[in-house]
Amino acid sequence: MVTSLSGTLYTLEDHFMYVGPLVRSALHSHYAGQIMWVPDGIELRRDHEALEQARFAVIRPRQRHAHGSAALAAVLWLDGDDARWQSSGSLQAVLPPTLEELETLGSRPSPSESEALARRLLRTFAPEGAPRRDLSQRHPAVQRMCALLEESSATPSHELKLAELARRSGLSERQLREVFVRDTGLSPRAYLRWRRLRRAVSSIREGASLTQAAVQAGFADGAHFSRVFRSQFGMSPTRAFVSMRFGIALSSA
């Protein structure tokens, strides 16, 4: 039985890519959408739909889902800001022909095989030169807020309040909340939590302990980080990172 994520996590700019054993998760949702490829299939539940057996699945940003365990999986997370999510037909839940030749990959791929698989999936869905974020259709105040929240996630000692964000954006608090939710699907507070989660994962990748990463990312303490991480990913950060390896930063070229 798979009890922790013991595969390899790769990065490519705003994207995360995991290759290895996948553990069972509770029902959860996060700002990133994800693309899952599981050669031997996996139990998957989306929202309140019936349980399905899937080998390849596209889960859209903020869609609640839960999955079983698998000996081998490749999971690519694309942030909700990624331009491809704006087109319903841009990411289809159909196994690309370029992946079919990898169906015989063993359950314990070597580091070189794991890296090759990560590169293949990244090239398929995040090709070189593809737009990562398209904020041009968002309200100018939302664009400014996203930049301010990103800045706030990098300065844990500075916790932005909604009133301050409203003042700096030129809108009332009510207007600010409405346009932000309309354009991002998240409240400003939820968006900030997501950016801090991403920052915490980056800190862990760079060698920080879970507690250190929590503080560096602006969480009150390790317990706060653990609660937020569990709600977003359906498992504890210990279960996710205790056995995980961190691979190189990949290029889609």
- 211-232, pLDDT tens digit by residue? 999 999 989 889 999 999 999 9
The torsion region of residue 130 among left (phi > 0), alpha (psi -120 to 50) and beta comes to beta
* Predicted local distance difference test score (pLDDT) of residue 210: 94
pLDDT given for residue 146 in this prediction: 82
Number of CB atoms found within 10 A of residue 5's CB: 22
**Rounded Cα–Cα distance for residues 56 and 42 (Å):** 9
Residue 67 tokens read as 């999955």
**Gap between the Cα atoms of 172 and 166, Å rounded:** 6
Find the angle CA(151)-CA(230)-CA(16) to the nearest 5 degrees.
Answer: 55
pLDDT band of residue 156 (cuts 50, 70, 90) is: low
**Lowest mean per-residue pLDDT among 53-62, 141-150, 233-242:** 141-150
What stretch of H or E contains 210? helix 210-216
CB 71 within 8 A of CB 2: yes
High-pLDDT (> 70) share of the chain, %: 83
**Cα(59)–Cα(213) distance, rounded to whole angstroms?**
27
Q: What is the pLDDT of residues 131-142, one digit of tens each?
A: 555 666 778 888
pLDDT at residue 147 in the model: 80
Residues comprising the chain, all counted: 253
Q: Is it true that 8-132 and 140-233 share their CATH fold? A: no
Tens of pLDDT, residue by residue over 97-113, are 666 656 656 667 777 87
Is the pLDDT at 157 greater than 60? The verdict is no
pTM for the whole thing? Answer: 0.85
Q: To which CATH superfamily is domain 140-233 assigned?
A: Homeodomain-like (1.10.10.60)
The tokens describing 6, both together, are: 């013991």
- Which residue in this structure is represented by tokens 């990172």? 241
Cβ 93 vs Cβ 57: under 8 Å: yes
Q: Which residues contact 14 (CB under 8 A, 6 or more apart)?
A: 78, 79, 81, 82, 132, 133
Predicted local distance difference test score (pLDDT) of residue 97: 64
Percent of the chain whose predicted confidence (pLDDT) is above 90? 34
8-132: CATH class: mainly beta
pLDDT, tens digit, 9 for 90 and up, residues 30-73: 999 998 988 889 999 998 888 999 988 989 999 999 999 999 89
Q: Residue 203: CB partners within 8 Å, gap ≥ 6?
A: 212, 213, 216, 217
Cβ neighbors of 103 (< 8 A, separation 6 or more) are 39
Question: Dihedral of CA 142/10/252/114: which sign?
Answer: negative
User: What digits encode the pLDDT tens for the residues 179-205?
Assistant: 989 888 888 889 889 999 999 999 999
All structural domains of the chain with their residue ranges: 8-132, 140-233
Position 39 scores a pLDDT of 85
Q: Token match 């737009």: residue?
A: 131
The pLDDT of residue 188: 84
